[in-house]
Chain A
Amino acid sequence: MTPRNSIRAEMYRLRGLFEAAGAQPVETAVLQPADVLLDLYGEDIRARAYVTSDALRGEQMLRPDFTVPVVQMHMEHGAEPACYTYSGEVFRRQEDDPDRANEYMQVGFELFDRANPAAADARVFALIYDILKPMNLRAATGDIGILMAAVDGLNTTERRKHALRRHIWRPKRFRALIDRFSGKIPAPESRVKLLAAEDPMANIGPMTGLRSETEIFQRINALKEDAAAAPISENEVALLDAVLAVRETSPYALERLLDIAVDLPEIRAAVERLEKRLEALASNGINVDQLDFEASYGRTQMEYYDGFVFGFYAESRPDLPPVASGGRYDALTRQLGQGREIPAVGGVIRPGLVVKLGGAA
């Protein structure tokens, strides 16, 4: 066990480095209203966060991360551009792995800046990279924005694209949808039967519950539309798979994605953002020739990153979670901003892991 006081000392040291880089320190409450987090993450958050309650404020969660409260605080009364740092405990419920910590410290850096997203991405990454440099960690990077653009670029119905975008963070379900939409897997028997019926609503029986007859009727129409739509072509599935399979050092990954963009032009803008980011990283002193890029990276994390994503790993300790991680979350600010939005990127370091692995000083 690493003593808590040495982790805390490391936490303050790291926060000092973030402050020296221009961040304003902020504090957030440990107890967060559950409804905001539930609305954002869905029921899965209950499996990851501790929920408690009282008669006055209802359900509350021990903060599973700082990002949500910091974004809320910024959206309410932040100036632009803004840059924050924070530090403290976060709490993650563990139900399957007794070796994973259910309470640990985090130090974070969040940047809200409209002017130049590529430069902002590079600034956050380079800052954390430089701090952790003495530890010789492996940096992993990816870009969810390229995956989203690839889905948008498919020649199929808007409804199918929406379903795929919704499940980008659930790779298994995403694959099942692709198999269905491309005709690789036939529609379930119950659906075939339903659509073959002269009047699918004929056997509806008594109505129960809140979901109305109109909603059921509308979904049947959507199913009919889907059954009539052409399957996603083999060629397009191959292109999507090619994007998902990109896993190279950054310059080769960029080259590969530019190649794919010839046949899937909708990803070009997103790939160009990657190109600009790599230039910005290089001008921040990062050797991008050695930097890994993996198109599928970040797909199984919490679903708010929608652009650049990164993580730092101790290669000798595959059993440990990443020492640091972060990414861009523009859509989260839109969701929490009640009509307003601001491009945002950030990252966190776990001081407990830094100390455990021998320190970064």
Chain B
Amino acid sequence: MSLKLGVPSKGRLMEKTFDWFAKRGIELGRSGSDREYAGYVQGIDNVELVLLSAGEIPRELSAGRIHLGVTGTDLIREKLALWEQQVAELAELGFGQADLVLAVPTCWVDVGTMDDLDAAAAAFRATHGFRLRIATKYHRQVRDFLREKGVADYQLVDSQGATEGTVKNETAEAVADITSSGDTLRANHLKILSDGLMLRSQATLFRSRKANMSKADAETLKELTGLLQL
């Protein structure tokens, strides 16, 4: 057995994760061809690199198939019920920053807060005969947030990509999505509500509370956290 570390398998998230570990004396890398999802770890023994899609890392941590994993806080909260009981945060890695926000068309000059959104949703439903639609892929978090804020008369419509475009296409009236700079929102004539920030997310190293660990693995983890200065 070895200590399994799950890392995003491609793109900037993978490269930045490799950089973060390299700065702390642990070299992670992909082995073989570009298309082969196999990796190596140098600088510590008994750690195995598992390359996965960032979206699958929460599930693998929860199932205990990996001991450690790098993914976004947003994904952990969306995919895992009672996430604190399933995983522990070891370190925020300082990249992959993204905020989950609620945004409405800029032309809605009468809507600046969640309170306004609720009132606008009531009027919208009375006028159009259906509930105001909010496009998102973060259903659980958005629903919890809106319940907490006391917003009624809305419905969530699923959008797995190009969410900002749904308003223009009139398949939704508002969006709840991840943004880092807000540029895409602005380009699509959308604005963030003043109290519409649901979550600040960034790439984070998580430890699974569900994975079985041999004595040797536990020692490896101790050595690793020492090297990473956690």
List chain A positions with a Cβ less than 8 A from chain B.
38, 42-44, 46-47, 95-96, 98, 163, 166-167, 170, 172-173, 176, 180, 188, 190-191, 194, 200-201, 203-211, 213, 215-216, 218-220, 222-223
Check A210–B173 contact: CB distance below 8 A.
yes
A219→B147 CA distance, assembly (Å): 23
With A43-B154, A44-B147, A47-B143: A206-B122 Cβ-Cβ less than 8 Å: no
The answer, yes or no, to whether B81 is at the interface (CB within 8 Å) is: yes
Q: Restricting to B137-176, which residues have a CB under 8 Å from any CB of A? A: 139-140, 143-144, 146-147, 149-150, 152-156, 167-168, 170, 172-173
Which residue on A lies nearest to B154, using beta carbons? A43
A175→B116 CA distance, assembly (Å): 16
Which residue on B lies nearest to A97, using beta carbons? B82
Q: For A211, list chain B residues within 8 Å (CB).
A: 105, 108, 120, 124, 173
Check A208–B112 contact: CB distance below 8 A.
no
Q: For A210, list chain B residues within 8 Å (CB).
A: 128, 170, 173
Q: How far is the CB of A21 from chain B (nearest CB, A)?
A: 37
List chain B positions with a Cβ less than 8 A from chain A.
81-82, 105-110, 112-113, 115-116, 118-120, 122-124, 127-128, 131, 139-140, 143-144, 146-147, 149-150, 152-156, 167-168, 170, 172-173, 188-190, 194
User: Which 10 pairs from chain A and chain B are nearest by CB?
Assistant: A173-B150, A190-B112, A209-B167, A208-B105, A219-B110, A208-B189, A170-B150, A210-B170, A95-B81, A209-B105
Check A176–B154 contact: CB distance below 8 A.
no
Q: How far is the CB of B191 from chain A (nearest CB, A)?
A: 10
- Of the A-B pairs whose beta carbons lie under 8 Å apart in the complex, a sample of 21, sorted by A's number, is A42-B153, A43-B155, A44-B147, A46-B156, A47-B143, A163-B122, A166-B152, A167-B152, A172-B150, A191-B112, A191-B113, A201-B109, A205-B106, A205-B189, A207-B107, A209-B167, A209-B170, A210-B173, A211-B124, A213-B107, A219-B110
Q: For A95, list chain B residues within 8 Å (CB).
A: 81, 140
